[in-house]
Amino acid sequence: MSMPSSARQYFSGALRASRRGASDEAIGLFSQAITAAPGCVAALFNRGREYDSLGRHAEAIADYTRCIEREPAADFYYNRALAYRHLDDFIVALADYDRAIALEARHVRAWNNRGNVLYLMGDFAAALESYGTCLSIDRGFAPAWYNRGCAHDELGSYSRALEDYTRSLALEKRPEAYYNRALVFRKLKEHARAIEDFSAAIALNPVFVKALNNRANAYADMQQRSRALQDYCEAIVIDPGCADALYNRGLAYSAVCDFEQAVADFTQALEHNPADADAIGARALACWRLGRRQEALDEVSRALELRPDSALLYYNRAQMFADEDRLTEAIDDYTCSLGLETCSAQAWNDRGAAYAALGDYNRAIGDFNRALELEPGCGDAFDNRAAALEQRRRHFRRRKEASSFRRCGR
């Protein structure tokens, strides 16, 4: 419908304000245009977009709904779906994407964002189908290649994820695509290629804290600790509240035996996330190495209250108990650890050592055997089993000699 001249003036002024990024001014002018021409769908639609840009999604939805009531169109449903998605109302968003597609079957962005909603709902297989349809319409739409890569990644299809991230990057050099491809390379233990991609992401976005933190992790994987520390430090300079970088830098300091600095980093990380059981447990180990033994035991016990399903935390507390010669408590914790993670040759070996120290050689030998089944090259378990077998032979010999003396005495 044609606009009255006053409405056209308000509308034109609103578009100019929007181009300048003056969203509040644009909303005011669009509102005046709507007052002058209540049926002006263009003003309603554009005001809805301005509301969206300011995070005022409920108001945007109201405007898009008024547009749909006057003139059902694919873009109106599409934009309303985006607003519902921002409000985490995924079911309603999905229904609106479907309505947009019903009106315009080749609506590339609707297919792509439909996939995004399914991804957020955890239905990665259905998301793949939406991204696939999007790409069948437009092979040059880079976001769909990237998003499909993310879905393959979630499903553990790493080779396909790499292919899709690479196709996305061929069309559009985005730091997020380099970053996600790097994460897949790291999962595949291709650390050099991961570092190359993290570096490309950082070159495009020098303040990409997650990329700096994860490049540092890749350097740490390769035992390049000085480079790892440099990246962690840079990430923390950019974002002093990055708990992941603080935690990881604490691990790096622990690896070079700088336990004081490690404790400081873990403490700072916990200021941002007090319930991080991993950080509490790591701080406990650093405290233990500094000789603060009771503090360490208290800390690891607190971590276990938060994460009672952590095999590693039980194992670490068992090690502390063993060092204190509290062998029964150590065995209890080794047993809890092995109940949660049965394939740890080290835990079987260490529980065997605790049994041996208590003179329970049969159980010790059984544990050493389990360790060697899991890791035939485990030298400690092999040596410990040999020692336990020898101790058991001596024990039986002493018992036999004692029995012989008792018979002679009668």
228 with 220: CB under 8 angstroms?
Answer: yes
Rounded-to-integer distance, Cα 216 and Cα 257, Å: 18
Task: Give the pair of three-digit tokens for residue 291.
Answer: 């000789």
Rounded-to-integer distance, Cα 303 and Cα 312, Å: 11
Q: Binning pLDDT at 50, 70 and 90, where does residue 402 land?
A: low
The pLDDT tens digits of the residues spanning 12-67 come to: 999 999 999 999 999 999 999 999 998 889 999 999 999 999 999 999 999 999 99
Q: What is the pLDDT of residue 7?
A: 86
Q: Is the pLDDT of residue 1 over 60?
A: no
For residue 287, is it within any domain? no
Q: What percent of the chain has pLDDT over 90?
A: 92
Q: Binning pLDDT at 50, 70 and 90, where does residue 403 land?
A: low
Q: What is the pLDDT of residue 395?
A: 80
254 with 282: CB under 8 angstroms?
Answer: yes
Rounded-to-integer distance, Cα 389 and Cα 397, Å: 12
209 with 238: CB under 8 angstroms?
Answer: yes
Q: Is the pLDDT of residue 186 over 90?
A: yes
For residue 201, is it within any domain? no
The pLDDT tens digits of the residues spanning 342-351 come to: 999 999 999 9
Rounded-to-integer distance, Cα 75 and Cα 113, Å: 13
Q: Is the pLDDT of residue 409 over 60?
A: no
Tell me the mean pLDDT in the region 89-102: 98
121-129 contacts, C-beta under 8 A, 24 or more apart: 121/90, 121/94, 124/151, 124/154, 124/155, 125/155, 127/151, 128/152, 128/155
Give every CB contact of residue 216 below 8 A, 6+ residues apart in sequence.
227, 228, 229, 230, 231, 232, 235, 245, 248, 249, 252
Output the CA–CA distances (angstroms, integers) from residue 61 to 24, 52, 76, 152, 198, in the order listed.
Answer: 17, 9, 10, 32, 38
Q: What is the pLDDT of residue 410?
A: 44
Q: Binning pLDDT at 50, 70 and 90, where does residue 282 land?
A: very high
Rounded-to-integer distance, Cα 128 and Cα 116, Å: 9
The pLDDT tens digits of the residues spanning 297-336 come to: 999 999 999 999 999 999 999 999 999 999 999 999 999 9
Rounded-to-integer distance, Cα 176 and Cα 161, Å: 14
Domain count, the chain: 1
Mean per-residue pLDDT of the chain: 94
The pLDDT tens digits of the residues spanning 260-272 come to: 999 999 999 999 9
For residue 119, is it within any domain? no
Q: Binning pLDDT at 50, 70 and 90, where does residue 408 land?
A: very low
Higher-confidence residue of 399 and 100: namely 100
Rounded-to-integer distance, Cα 40 and Cα 1, Å: 7
For residue 170, is it within any domain? no
Structural domain span for residue 400: 309-405
Rounded-to-integer distance, Cα 304 and Cα 274, Å: 14
Task: List the one residue out of 272, 282, 296 whose CA is nearest residue 252.
Answer: 282
74 with 103: CB under 8 angstroms?
Answer: yes
DSSP states along 340-409: H-TT-HHHHHHHHHHHHHTT-HHHHHHHHHHHHHH-TT-HHHHHHHHHHHHHHHHHHHHHHHHHHHHHHH
Higher-confidence residue of 399 and 245: namely 245
For residue 162, is it within any domain? no
Q: What percent of the chain has pLDDT over 70?
A: 97
Q: Binning pLDDT at 50, 70 and 90, where does residue 406 land?
A: low
For residue 358, is it within any domain? yes
For residue 210, is it within any domain? no
Q: Is the pLDDT of residue 164 over 80?
A: yes
Tell me the mean pLDDT in the region 205-229: 97
77 with 103: CB under 8 angstroms?
Answer: yes
Q: Is the pLDDT of residue 399 over 70?
A: no
Rounded-to-integer distance, Cα 165 and Cα 187, Å: 15
The pLDDT tens digits of the residues spanning 6-19 come to: 888 999 999 999 99
CATH number of the domain that residue 368 is part of: 1.25.40.10
Higher-confidence residue of 145 and 377: namely 145
The pLDDT tens digits of the residues spanning 103-153 come to: 999 999 999 999 999 999 999 999 999 999 999 999 999 999 999 999 999
Largest CA distance in the chain: 127
For residue 42, is it within any domain? no
Rounded-to-integer distance, Cα 342 and Cα 356, Å: 20
